[in-house]
Amino acid sequence: MSLDDHAPLRGPTGRLTRARAILRDAERVLVLTGAGISAESGVPTFREAMHGYWRQFRPEDLATPEAFARNPIQVWAWYDSRRAQLRECGPNRAHDALARWILGAPDSRRLYTQNVDGLHHRALTDAHGSGTPPPEALPRELHGDIFVIRCSVCSWSERNDAPVDAASIETLPRCPQCGALARPAVIWFGEALDGELLQQAMADADRATVCLSVGTSALVHPAASLPRIVLASGGELIEVNPEPTPLSADASVRISGSAGSVLPELLD
Ligand code: BV8
Ligand code: ZN
């Protein structure tokens, strides 16, 4: 049971103080982030992603291979509008604080994200400055990257952030190798995550002594099982989220606040 939903946030026995101490002494930390960490960048969280015209749909009804097979124009129109919106967004203070913290000890801090917005990657390259960041510090994108498209049939893929004309089946992007429809290179509901990446994530969770979960409703599996694996192997959980989640009861420290305000205080 998280000891402290009512303990003060700051001060010698405050939740922030205790979470900082746990992170400072941690041997290996697995960080799991969700849509909430990008909320302050202006990226609607997944539950909110269905706004405006999309209000009549549920993410689980559009982000599936069946939806794409049934109506590729509608699915591409949704992804094109999300890509367009994301082009206007940048990393926020939470992404930046997390990037600096990970670069501080890349061997013992692993970042896994459920987000497909690429903002962790941008924050890490910004924080690292010139040259390429150490590979172990790079965010692991469990659900792929919305700015990569791939063939719906063969193995072709490319980074592509250009607008997609979803007016008709003729204007949708096609694979240059085999001519099949191209699709966003994200993992849809009902699709398996990359096997190697998932195995690596589970191994990192098993070895981690602390899990820091930020901005995730912890509802989507198998990503949501990572904090549970850390707990099962005797690790501790710190959760940063304005709302309680299925993980909250098992958190050593729960900080109910926004990532943009909590992470710089927690990590810097
Ligand atoms: C799999 C990419 C099996 C796409 C995403 C029935 C039928 C079919 C499948 C299932 C089923 N029941 C269960 C499943 C499994 C399913 C699943 O878990 N479903 C859920 C809904 C129950 N999982 C899958 O289908 C996975 N694949 O199981 O395959 C398999 C195995 C072998 C072989 C074949 C098949 C694939 C799941 C990945 C789906 N793709 N994204 C795209 O983005 O377009 S998931 C998508 O939703 C996101 O990536 C993210 O992972 C998830 C949303 O979760 P969150 O990130 O947590 O976001 P959410 O909006 O929910 O919450 C935001 C949180 O932030 C909130 O708590 C809020 O309080 C907080 N917050 C808000 N503001 C802030 C904040 N926090 C901090 N600061 C703030 N400012
Ligand atoms: Zn192809």
Q: What is the CATH number of the domain that holds 133?
A: 3.40.50.1220
Q: CA 135: distance to chain centroid?
A: 18
* Same structural domain, 31 and 110: yes
What's the distance, Cα to Cα, between the start and end of the chain in Å?
A: 27
CB 139 within 8 A of CB 110: no
Last residue of a domain, one of 186, 211, 239: 186
- What's the CATH code of the domain at 165? 3.30.1600.10
Nearest CA, atom 20, ligand 1: 220
CB 256 within 8 A of CB 266: no
| Ligand 1 within 6 A of CB of 195 | no
User: Which of 41, 45, 115, 119 most suits a substitution to test ligand 1, by most atoms within 8 Å of the C-beta?
Assistant: 45
| Ligand 1 within 6 A of CB of 186 | yes
* Same structural domain, 108 and 214: yes
Last residue of a domain, one of 157, 186, 215: 186
The residue among 246, 268, 243 whose CA lies nearest residue 256 is: 243
Alpha carbon distance 191, 194 (integer Å): 9
* Same structural domain, 75 and 180: yes
* Same structural domain, 200 and 95: yes
* Same structural domain, 104 and 162: no
**What is the domain extent for residue 102?**
1-42+91-143+193-268
pLDDT band at 102 (very low <50, low <70, confident <90, very high): very high
**Which residues are known to be catalytic?**
143
* Same structural domain, 156 and 267: no
pLDDT of residue 55: 72
pLDDT of residue 4: 55
* Same structural domain, 19 and 57: no
| Per-residue CA distances from 65 to 20, 45, 186, 192 (Å) | 42, 21, 11, 11
pLDDT of residue 1: 45
Given the DSSP bridges, would you call strands 210-214 and 236-240 parallel, antiparallel or unpaired?
A: parallel
Confidence check: pLDDT of 12 > 80: yes
Q: How many domains does the chain have?
A: 2
Ligand 2 mean position to 185 CA, how many Å?
A: 13
| Ligand 1 within 6 A of CB of 116 | yes
Ligand 1 mean position to 203 CA, how many Å?
A: 21
* Same structural domain, 221 and 266: yes
**Does residue 222 have a cis bond before it (omega within 30 degrees)?**
yes
* Same structural domain, 83 and 204: no
CB 12 within 8 A of CB 6: no
Mean pLDDT for the chain overall: 94
* Same structural domain, 29 and 84: no
% of the chain surpassing 70 pLDDT:
96
CB 210 within 8 A of CB 230: yes
DSSP state of 168: S
What ligand is nearest to the CA atom of residue 178? 2
| pLDDT tens for each residue of 223-246 | 999 999 999 999 999 999 999 999
% of the chain surpassing 90 pLDDT:
87
| Ligand 1 within 6 A of CB of 123 | no
What ligand is nearest to the CA atom of residue 141? 1
Ligand 2 mean position to 158 CA, how many Å?
A: 11
Question: Which residues have C-beta within 8 Å of that of residue 106, sequence separation ≥ 6?
Answer: 134, 136, 137
pTM of the entire structure?
0.96
* Same structural domain, 73 and 137: no
Please report the sign of the dihedral spanned by the C-alpha atoms of residue 72, residue 117, residue 47, residue 88: negative
* Same structural domain, 34 and 159: no
pLDDT of residue 58: 82
pLDDT band at 50 (very low <50, low <70, confident <90, very high): low
Question: Which residues have C-beta within 8 Å of that of residue 195, sequence separation ≥ 6?
Answer: none
The residue among 159, 123, 121, 122 whose CA lies nearest residue 139 is: 121
